[in-house]
Amino acid sequence: MTKGKYVAGAYIVEISDGESTDEFISRLGAQEGVASVEERIRFDSTVFKGTSFNLGIVPKKDEEEVVRQVEALPEVKNIWPVEVISSPQLNLSWTAQGKPLVEVQRRQVGKDGYSPHIMTQVDRLHAEGITGKGLRIGIVDTGIDYTHPALGGCFGPGCLVEFGADVVGDSYDGSQPPNPDGDPFEDCNGHGTHVAGIIAALDNPLGFRGAAPGVKIGMFRAFSCSDTTTMDALMAATSKAYEGGSDIITGRCSLHLFSW
């Protein structure tokens, strides 16, 4: 993952305990030099309270000076610019000269012969009946194709993919507020589907299953179809994963990317 770009005029603010986010937004719009305020994402979890917003500056006013004014407001605990995070573009080609991508082979039912599991000794855990049953794993990634039979084919209570949300929408590029909804489905990227399969794929005709097929999966989509996200979207997805009751949260981005 790469970073370094910032969304022009976009900021994340952590609100001090006991202060009102609505009152902060109102006070922000009244600051000298502020032409407009467009709220992007509001954070109201037990671990982080605040908001992100696009800040319009009056012509000929210095943005850095206006941001210093904002930072001095009594409600403001911290302030950061909104970073853009995207995957490096890889030029890959398939050179197998027409050979099938996957050869389906049947293996003995009940025995874990999947070589990555043997190398990491996951097969020994499976042999002892340890499958992660009872745990909820939240994944912050590109979304998931839960219709895949190895991932249970459904979303919601009773399914393998039991909980989650789409924090950004298909076309999010960071310049405008996201378009969230309660369904983490996507079929335009595949990375989150891949990760979910590694963790918890159910028995399937390809002869493998996930490292912890007894868990319940929560997918929190933070990347759009362009494989782009922003720091506030990642924060929102991680907060939702936590508030959703995840015992473990795994994210696509390394910790060194985070400035908050």
pLDDT in tens, 83-127: 999 876 655 555 556 666 555 555 544 567 788 888 999 999 999
17-31, 43-57, 81-95, 241-255: which range is least confident on average? Answer: 81-95
In a domain, 260, yes or no: no
69 & 149 share domain: no
| Whole-number average pLDDT of the chain | 90
Q: What are the pLDDT digits (tens) for 71-82?
A: 999 999 999 999
In this predicted structure, the answer to whether residue 34 has a pLDDT above a threshold of 60 is: yes
In this predicted structure, the answer to whether residue 60 has a pLDDT above a threshold of 80 is: yes
32 & 127 share domain: no
- Number of domains forming the structure of the chain: 2
In a domain, 102, yes or no: no
**Parent domain of 208:** 115-251
In a domain, 259, yes or no: no
In a domain, 23, yes or no: yes
In a domain, 100, yes or no: no
Query: How many Å separate Cα 34 from the centre of its chain?
Result: 31
In a domain, 206, yes or no: yes
In Å, what is the CA distance from 253 to each residue of 118, 230, 235? 27, 11, 11
Give the domain-ending residue among 36, 61, 84.
84
In a domain, 104, yes or no: no
Checking 210-213 for CB contacts under 8 A at 24+ apart, the result is: 211/117, 211/120, 211/122, 211/132, 212/131, 212/132, 212/135, 212/137, 213/131, 213/132
Residue type, 114: Y
In a domain, 110, yes or no: no
51 & 159 share domain: no
In this predicted structure, the answer to whether residue 2 has a pLDDT above a threshold of 70 is: no
79 & 119 share domain: no
Q: What are the pLDDT digits (tens) for 172-214?
A: 999 999 999 999 999 999 999 999 999 999 998 888 899 999 9
Q: What's the CA gap between 18 and 131, in Å, rounded?
A: 43
29 & 142 share domain: no
Decide: residue 227, CB within 10 A, 0-12 exposed, 13-18 middle, 19+ buried.
middle
CATH number at 179 reads 3.40.50.200
DSSP 173: -
33 & 73 share domain: yes
CATH number at 72 reads 3.30.70.80
Query: What is the predicted pLDDT for the residue at 4?
Result: 59
222 & 138 share domain: yes
Query: What is the predicted pLDDT for the residue at 27?
Result: 97
In this predicted structure, the answer to whether residue 59 has a pLDDT above a threshold of 80 is: yes
41 & 141 share domain: no
| DSSP secondary structure letters along 1-64 | -EEEEEEEEEEEEEEPTT--HHHHHHHHHTSTTEEEEEEEEEEESSS-EEEEEEEEE-TT--HH
72 & 127 share domain: no
131 & 174 share domain: yes
- Which spans in the chain are helix H? 21-29, 63-71, 115-120, 122-127, 191-200, 231-243
Q: Say how many residues make up the chain.
A: 260
Q: Which token pair is 83?
A: 């970073």
61 & 143 share domain: no
Query: What is the predicted pLDDT for the residue at 86?
Result: 83
240 & 120 share domain: yes
Give the domain-ending residue among 84, 103, 125.
84
